[in-house]
């Protein structure tokens, strides 16, 4: 006999010894609501209030698998509602596999049970939960971001899948498959509430998703069938999209109720960019948006007028202006009156980082080459917010650099500073190109999120310690450095 209760312990009993249990199984963090015995393989199922299902071996008393079920009715930080007996073991009379049914409020989860020999392990497959990925061998990542409201990392993959990961443990919480059919996912952004995810694809489609349950809320009207390269959501949930259309499209997703949302082409962007737009970044303190194109031109747009106010051109190489791979506004500098006319916008062109002033006397305040090897590019930039004391760059060889920019590009002078700022840390984070880097703060500590074309996403301390890779078998506890992979 198996029992579970409010003390979060699962106990095994026999009829021969009634004074004490023959085994106690520890691991649940909340009240155990229901238990079941799966006799064909000698396993025990236990289910707790936090929607965690554990599979135990009845002989060795070891936990074989832990499955965190994600029901659409769940709210982050809240215990979901359950009935009195949420587990039901269904064993059909024919040779079909048995199933475990789990109920939560108005939803049911169906889990298929494979019948193999006792102690074989791996006997549970969740039809609503994908198997854990093989680290570094999955589809290439195209983008990643951190959602501070839900404390989750979102990764976008070339196979059009999206995964949500718990930042505190590295465990996957949700996966969206075929988000854009067979089209490669190219970019992502969060809305101002951080409850919705916007994704863009190579075929020009844009979709809005509910991050709590993975439902597709809206499909946005494509401007063309060409690639979407950048998305940014303004504070009033007005979404801006750029790409190979060479134009800026705006979508009102603030109070959209219909599935399909039409594009607003009111921005004065027709024939302004002469080449494909590759990057977009906004600065609310200055009320501007920056876009950059393949021909190396950076254009500053005023949000109020929806028109261009400034055209910037970087240094040429052999008579040609290289394309701009990434843009980053240093928001802290832009918010301080005496600093906003210094180097507040960083652009990346074939590995060279330029710090631009976009108010007052507009010119390059500083520039330097960031990658570890010559001839490489920097595809992603990030800085700590709101202080802007460090700049993180990720290059096409998988190397990550952390620069001290506390005093870089702040002095008023006619010629740009060409010396590198102090390099605080540098390490090889991945085997292939870094497509996304982001500085994030968790539990009053700074970490760096990395995503690579090698198919893996990792979490690091700013000192270079490897916390772990998302999807690895052994989970970490972000507040306990002893659990880091290092």
Q: Which residue has the tokens 């982001």?
A: 438
Kindly list the structural domains of the chain, giving each domain's residue range(s) and its CATH number in brackets, ordered by start: 2-126 (2.130.10.10), 141-483 (2.130.10.10)
Tell me whether residue 389 is exposed, middle or buried, using C-beta atoms within 10 angstroms of its C-beta: 0 to 12, 13 to 18, 19 or more.
middle
Residue-wise DSSP of 208-241: EEETTT--EEEEEPPSSSSPEEEEEE-TTSEEEE
pLDDT of residue 165: 96
The ranges of the chain with pLDDT < 50 are 116-134
pLDDT of residue 395: 95
pLDDT of residue 268: 94
pLDDT of residue 315: 82
Distance CA 201, CA 468 (A): 28
Q: Is the pTM of this model over 0.85?
A: no
Q: Which residue has the tokens 């854990």?
A: 132
Contact 381, 425 (CB under 8 A): no
pLDDT of residue 242: 97
pLDDT of residue 75: 57
94's CB contacts (< 8 A; 6+ apart) are none
Residue 70 bridge partners (DSSP): none
Q: Copy the structure tokens of residue 2.
A: 């198996």
């Amino acid at each position: 006999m198996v029992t579970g209760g409010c003390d979060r312990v699962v106990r095994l009993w026999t009829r021969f010894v009634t004074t004490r249990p023959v085994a106690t199984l520890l691991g649940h963090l909340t009240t155990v609501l229901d238990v079941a015995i799966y006799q064909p393989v000698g396993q025990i199922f236990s289910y707790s209030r936090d929607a965690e299902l554990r599979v135990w071996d009845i002989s060795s008393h070891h936990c074989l698998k832990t499955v965190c079920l994600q029901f659409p009715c769940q709210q982050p930080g809240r215990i979901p509602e359950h009935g009195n007996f949420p587990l039901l073991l269904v064993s059909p009379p024919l040779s079909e596999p048995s199933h475990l049914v789990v109920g939560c409020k108005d939803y049911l989860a169906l889990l298929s049970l494979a019948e193999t020999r006792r102690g074989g392990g791996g006997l549970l497959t969740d039809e609503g939960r994908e198997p854990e990925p093989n680290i570094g061998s999955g589809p290439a990542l195209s983008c990643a971001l951190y959602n501070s409201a839900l404390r989750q990392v979102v990764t976008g993959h070339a196979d059009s899948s999206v995964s949500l990961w718990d930042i505190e443990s590295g465990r996957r919480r949700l996966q969206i498959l075929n988000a854009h059919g067979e089209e490669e996912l190219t970019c992502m952004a969060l809305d101002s509430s951080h409850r919705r995810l916007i994704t863009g694809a190579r075929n020009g489609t844009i979709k809005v998703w509910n991050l709590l349950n993975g439902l597709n809320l809206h499909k946005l009207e494509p401007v063309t069938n060409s690639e979407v390269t950048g998305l940014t959501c303004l504070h009033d949930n007005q979404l801006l999209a750029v790409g190979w259309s060479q134009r800026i499209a705006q979508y009102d997703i603030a109070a959209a109720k219909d599935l399909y949302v039409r594009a607003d082409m009111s921005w004065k962007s027709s024939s302004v960019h002469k080449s494909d737009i590759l990057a977009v970044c906004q600065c609310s303190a200055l009320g501007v948006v920056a876009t950059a194109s393949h021909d190396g031109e950076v254009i500053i747009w005023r949000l109020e007028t929806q028109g261009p106010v400034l055209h910037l051109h970087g240094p040429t190489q052999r008579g040609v202006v290289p394309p701009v791979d990434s843009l980053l506004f240093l928001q802290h500098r832009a918010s301080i009156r005496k600093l906003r006319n210094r180097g507040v916008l960083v652009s990346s062109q074939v590995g060279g980082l330029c710090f631009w002033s976009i108010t007052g006397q507009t010119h390059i305040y500083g520039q330097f080459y960031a990658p570890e090897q010559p001839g490489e590019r920097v595809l992603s930039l990030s800085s700590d917010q709101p202080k802007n004391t460090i700049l993180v760059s990720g290059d096409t060889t998988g190397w990550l650099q952390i620069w001290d920019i506390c005093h870089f590009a702040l002095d008023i002078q006619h010629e740009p500073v060409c010396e590198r700022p102090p390099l605080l840390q540098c390490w090889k984070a991945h085997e292939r190109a870094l497509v996304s880097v982001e500085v994030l703060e968790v539990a009053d500590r700074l970490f760096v999120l990395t995503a690579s074309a090698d198919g893996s996403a990792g979490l690091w301390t700013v000192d270079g310690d490897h916390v772990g890779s998302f999807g690895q078998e052994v989970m970490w506890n972000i507040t306990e450095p002893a659990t880091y992979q290092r």
